[in-house]
Structure formats: C-alpha cells, structure tokens
C-alpha cells in the first residue's frame, strides 16, 4: 500500500450477484474509476455460519436484510471459490492490487495459494482472535475494520498481530449499518485510532454518497474502502449502499483533490507565495522631497507594493533626514536617509 497518498479500495462484496462475468466487468470498471485495489470476501455459507433456523440465526437488527436467516443470506452473497484464481489474475492484469477478507482458516489457505498480499479483517470478525492471529502470521499487511469494536476489542486485535511480529496494521473507522447514517460516521475517531493504537488509520464507509470519504482523507485517512457495483440495477444484498462507476470516479477525483488541498505543515514559501509578496506592504516616499527634509507621516507611508523597506522600520525612520532629492513613488530604503 502506498504511504504517500490514500489507498482507495473498491469492495466487490456481493455485487457480482452470482455472475462471474459481472465480477470480471466490475474489476475492469474499478480500474477505470481510479481505484487502487479491488477487494473480495472469501467465505461460504458453511464457513461463516450454521444452517439453522433457530431464532439466533435470523436477522432482526434493523438491517436491509431483516427477516433472512444468516445461512440463506451468505449463500446468496458469497463469491464462489473456484472464481478466485481467474479474478486475481484479471485484477493483476488490470494493474490493480487485489486482496480479500477471509472468514476462516481455510479461506486464508486458499488466498495464500494465490499470493494474496493483504489481509482484511471485517468488522464482525474483530473478536475472532484465532483468525486474526492466523492472518497475522503470514506477515502480510493487516487491515482491520472497527465497526462493532470496543477499545478493548481493538487493543486485543492489534496486540494479537504484534505478538506474532506483524506490525503492519491499519485500523479503519467503520459504522456497521447498511447504509450508515452520515451523522453516525464519527470521523474524528480516525485521528484517535492513529494516536491511541499507533497504526495507520482509514475508513470503511457505508454511508450514501461521497462526502464521508472526502472528509476522512482531510482528517488523515490513509485507506478508503467503499462498496463498488457495476450497475445498481442488477440489485443484490449490497447494491443500495454501493457506488457505481460514475459515482466512484467522482469520489476518487474528490479524494485526490482533497489530498492536494490538505497539503502539509510548512512555513516555507512557495515560488508563487514569494512572488505574491511583491504585493505586500512596504515603505514609500509619498511626496517630492529635498535633501535635508525630515521624514514625516506626510512624506512616507506603508503602501502596496512590497519593494521598499519593511513597515516595521516606519517609526525608526520618522525624524531622520533625507540625504538627497527624491520623487514621490520612490521605494524607501536605508540609503535614502542619514
């Protein structure tokens, strides 16, 4: 991941809607939209949950999927594992970084066979310490979403990585609502994640539109993850809070512009700023004067442009005598008076 600019991830998730062709076209569209990376999720319904109709497994938390059972949802949303080899190859051919979120050890093993370069831990897996440890032991960079996490959860996840010698950790501020209300984005946490846990900070965003990621980058986010869809008309579990190619392109352009606008802390003047100082204030002679005349408020002033003496010398100059004749509009210098 680049350190000098925000790393923008297009999250495919379930937005292939069961079509490998759509998945491939989405990868190509992500490249056109300016993404740095395409990210998948690697699970099956059986590796992420149980096929049970008990009430525990029924969604009823106010999500867009309420009423579905977990196994049914994930069976609909998962990416077939036999696709991954081709998807990784195509993404790399497009010049994209490509990686995935695994949800159990068998998924990690599959991804390792594909030389997966980064491991993303999803918000709801932040408490799966054995999974985090298994990923961290690959010594690949680890990105962790914090959508449901307490500070103790985050600290434990970070410590788990560090305890096996993996210190390349990024924490993403995340609001685990789908879609997430913008007033719950709480982006001030980005800076706190960096300072409190000593990691790279970022954002996994589920709000509508592009405002939240643009603001996030001005607050120090080094990673932006956003769900990406080829066409919202294809539908699917994540379609409502995903960006299409046009919207994602707008987001990328806005993020890059925000990065440029944010700049860096520096009091050094650019060439343009230096030339602009020509229009700053300086001391000028404001009336025709003769040798021996006294410098007074009537014949010197602080005016634009900036080719004369600094205005801080104004009081020191008053009362001195001109050493020659000077015309109105002459820039005052120390050589003008005794």
pLDDT tens-place string over residues 232-257: 887 776 777 899 999 999 999 999 99
Q: How far apart are CA 141 and CA 169, in angstroms?
A: 6
Query: How far is the first Cα of the chain from the last one, in angstroms, to the nearest whole number?
Result: 64
Tell me which residue of 256, 188, 241, 264 sits closest to 219, measured CA to CA: 188
Give the whole-angstrom CA distance, residue 165 versus residue 16. 36
CB 130 within 8 A of CB 71: no
Whether residue 28 contacts residue 34, with contact meaning beta carbons closer than 8 Å, is answered with no
pTM score of the predicted model: 0.84
User: Per-residue pLDDT for the chain (338 aa), expressed as one digit of tens each?
Assistant: 656 789 999 999 888 989 999 999 999 999 999 999 999 999 999 999 999 999 999 988 777 778 888 898 888 889 999 999 999 999 999 999 999 999 999 999 999 999 999 999 999 999 999 999 999 999 999 999 998 899 999 999 999 999 999 999 999 998 877 778 898 899 999 999 999 999 999 999 988 889 999 999 999 999 999 999 998 887 776 777 899 999 999 999 999 999 998 887 888 888 888 888 888 999 999 999 999 999 999 999 999 999 999 999 999 999 999 999 999 999 999 999 98
* Cα-based distances in Å from 150 to 127, 143, 155, 183, 197: 10, 17, 9, 19, 13
pLDDT of residue 196: 97
Residues 6+ apart with CB under 8 A from 57: 49, 50, 69, 70, 71
Number of separate helices (H) and strands (E) present in the chain:
12, 10
What architecture is domain 271-336?
Alpha-Beta Complex (3.90)
Report which of 61, 84, 88, 85 is spatially closest to residue 73, judged by C-alpha positions. 61
CATH number for the segment(s) 7-43+78-262 = 3.20.20.70
Percentages (nearest 5) of helix, strand, coil residues in the chain: 40, 20, 40
Q: Six-digit token pair at 78?
A: 């998962």
Helix (H) or strand (E) holding 300, with range, is strand 300-303
Taking CA atoms, 278 is separated from 20, 267, 305, 309, 326, in Å, by: 62, 18, 6, 12, 22
Q: In whole angstroms, how far apart are CA 299 and each of 204, 288, 326, 328, 331? A: 64, 8, 10, 8, 12
| 162-169: long-range pairs with CB below 8 Å, 24+ | 163/133, 164/133, 164/136, 164/137, 165/139, 166/136, 166/137, 166/139, 166/140, 166/142, 168/140, 168/141, 168/142, 169/141, 169/142, 169/143, 169/144, 169/197, 169/199, 169/200
Tell me the two tokens of residue 285. 């002679």
User: What's the pLDDT score for residue 14?
Assistant: 86
Backbone angles phi, psi at 40, to 5 degrees: -110, 175
Q: Where are the alpha helices (DSSP H) in 223-283?
A: 245-262, 271-276
For residue 102, the cross-strand partners are: 42
Whether the Cβ atoms of residue 142 and residue 170 lie closer than 8 Å to each other: yes
Beta bridge partners of 7: 223
Task: List Cα–Cα distances, 272 to 125, 263, 265, 303, 307, in angstroms.
Answer: 50, 15, 17, 21, 16
- In this predicted structure, what is the pLDDT of residue 4? 73
**Domains of the chain, residue spans:** 7-43+78-262, 271-336
């Amino acid at each position: 991941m680049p350190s000098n600019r925000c790393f923008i991830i297009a999250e495919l998730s379930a937005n292939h809607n069961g079509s490998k062709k759509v998945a491939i076209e989405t990868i190509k569209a992500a490249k056109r939209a300016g993404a740095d990376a395409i990210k998948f999720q690697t699970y099956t319904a059986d590796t992420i949950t149980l096929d049970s109709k008990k009430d525990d497994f029924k969604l009823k938390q106010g999500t867009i999927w309420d009423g579905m059972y977990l196994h049914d949802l994930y069976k609909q949303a998962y990416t077939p594992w036999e696709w991954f080899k081709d998807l990784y190859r195509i993404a790399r051919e497009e010049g994209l970084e490509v990686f995935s979120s695994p949800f159990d050890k068998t998924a990690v093993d599959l991804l390792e066979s594909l030389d997966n370069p980064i491991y993303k831990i999803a918000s709801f897996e932040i408490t799966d310490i054995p999974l985090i440890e298994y990923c961290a032991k690959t010594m690949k960079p680890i990105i962790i979403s914090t959508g449901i996490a307490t500070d103790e959860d985050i600290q434990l996840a970070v410590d788990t990585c560090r305890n096996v010698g993996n210190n390349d950790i990024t924490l993403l501020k995340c609001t685990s609502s789908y879609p997430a209300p913008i007033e719950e984005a709480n982006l001030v946490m980005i800076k706190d994640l960096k300072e409190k846990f000593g990691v790279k900070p970022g954002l996994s965003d589920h709000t509508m539109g592009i405002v939240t990621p643009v603001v996030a980058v001005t607050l120090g986010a080094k990673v932006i993850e956003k769900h990406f869809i080829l066409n919202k008309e294809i539908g699917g579990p994540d379609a409502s809070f995903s960006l299409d190619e046009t919207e994602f392109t707008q987001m990328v352009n806005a993020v890059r512009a925000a990065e440029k606008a944010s700049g860096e802390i520096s009091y050094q003047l650019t060439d343009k700023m230096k030339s602009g100082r020509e229009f700053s204030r300086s001391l000028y002679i404001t009336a025709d004067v003769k040798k021996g005349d006294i410098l007074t408020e009537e014949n010197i002033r602080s005016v634009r442009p900036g080719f004369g003496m600094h205005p801080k010398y104004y009081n020191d100059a008053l009362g001195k005598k001109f050493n020659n004749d000077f015309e109105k509009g002459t820039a005052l210098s120390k050589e003008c008076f005794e």
